[in-house]
Amino acid sequence: MSNETVICEIDSRGIATVTLNNPDKHNAFDDTMIASLSDCFTSLSADNSVRALVLASTGRSFSAGADLNWMKRMAGYSFEENLRDANALANMLKLLNSMPKPTIARVQGAAFGGAVGLVSCCDIAISASRASFCLSEVRIGLVPATISPYVINAIGQRAARRYFISAERFSAERALNLGLVSEVVDEEELDSQLEEIIQQLLQNGPQAVAAAKQLLFDVAGRNINDDLIASTSERIATIRVSDEGQQGLGAFLDKQPAPWIKE
263 falls in which pLDDT band (50, 70, 90)?
Answer: low
Is residue 186's pLDDT more than 70? yes
| Distance, CA of 164 to CA of 156 (rounded, Å) | 12
Q: In what order do the strands lie in the sheet with 169-171?
A: 111-112, 132-134, 169-171
- Strands 169-171 and 132-134, bridge-based pairing: antiparallel
What global pTM score does this model have?
Answer: 0.94
Residue 77: the pLDDT is 86
Listed residue (94, 92, 138, 88) closest to 113, CA to CA:
138
pLDDT, tens only, 114-161: 999 999 999 999 999 999 999 999 998 999 999 999 999 999 999 999
| pLDDT, tens only, 56-79 | 999 999 999 888 888 888 888 899
164 contacts 135 by C-beta, under 8 angstroms: yes
**Residue range 14-39, pLDDT digits in tens:** 999 999 999 999 999 999 999 999 99
